[in-house]
């Protein structure tokens, strides 16, 4: 019998926006506010600020971290995003390797929709394999 797996002391959290994924390593005891500070550091790095299509942020009040929530109603399908409260602890709220999304604020302070591009599973140069429908009879010689 194997011993039970212990929970990791630090969580790996992925934060996504546009075509960028930021990997954050935080202790379980950290708060969402600490996670936002770490994310702000990445968002204000030289790599992020050189891209004009990337939102420019000055402080953690310019964005929220949100999690995807799948719609369960019959009439609606898709995903909505739920902003996380800054004073909440990571432990109990998030799981290791959980994916969060940036939700930026506009000039009036209103939350804007999440913008994230899901990468293609195929390389740009790779073509989709042809789909053969049904079986063919062997050619008679």
* Spatial contact of 105 and 61, defined as CB atoms under 8 Å apart: yes
d(CA 9, CA 18) in angstroms, rounded, equals 30
Query: What contacts 136, CB < 8 A, 6 or more positions away?
Result: none
How many Cβ atoms sit within 10 Å of the Cβ of residue 36?
23
Mean pLDDT for all residues in the chain? 82
Which tokens hold the place of 25? 């390593």
96-129: pLDDT as tens digits: 999 999 999 998 999 999 988 876 666 656 555 5
What confidence score (pLDDT) does residue 79 get? 83
Given a cut of 80, whether residue 68 has pLDDT beyond it is yes
Extract the tokens encoding 103.
């939700």
Neighbouring CB atoms inside 10 A of 77's CB total 9
Least confident segment among 12-26, 33-47, 118-132: 118-132
- pLDDT band at residue 49 using 50, 70 and 90 as cut-offs: low
pTM comes to 0.75
- Whole-number pLDDT of residue 126: 55
């Amino acid at each position: 019998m194997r011993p039970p797996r212990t929970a990791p002391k630090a969580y790996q959290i992925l934060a996504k926006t546009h075509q960028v994924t930021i990997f954050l390593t935080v202790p379980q005891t950290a708060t969402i506010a600490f996670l936002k500070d770490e994310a702000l550091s990445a968002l204000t790095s030289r790599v992020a600020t050189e891209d004009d299509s990337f939102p420019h942020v000055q402080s953690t009040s310019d964005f929220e971290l949100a999690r995807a929530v799948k719609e369960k109603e019959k009439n609606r399908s898709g995903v909505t995003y739920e902003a996380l409260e800054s004073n909440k602890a990571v432990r109990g709220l998030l799981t290791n390797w959980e994916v969060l999304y940036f939700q930026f604020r506009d000039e009036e302070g209103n939350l804007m929709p999440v913008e994230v591009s899901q990468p293609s599973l195929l390389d740009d140069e790779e073509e989709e394999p042809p789909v053969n429908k049904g079986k063919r009879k062997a050619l008679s010689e």
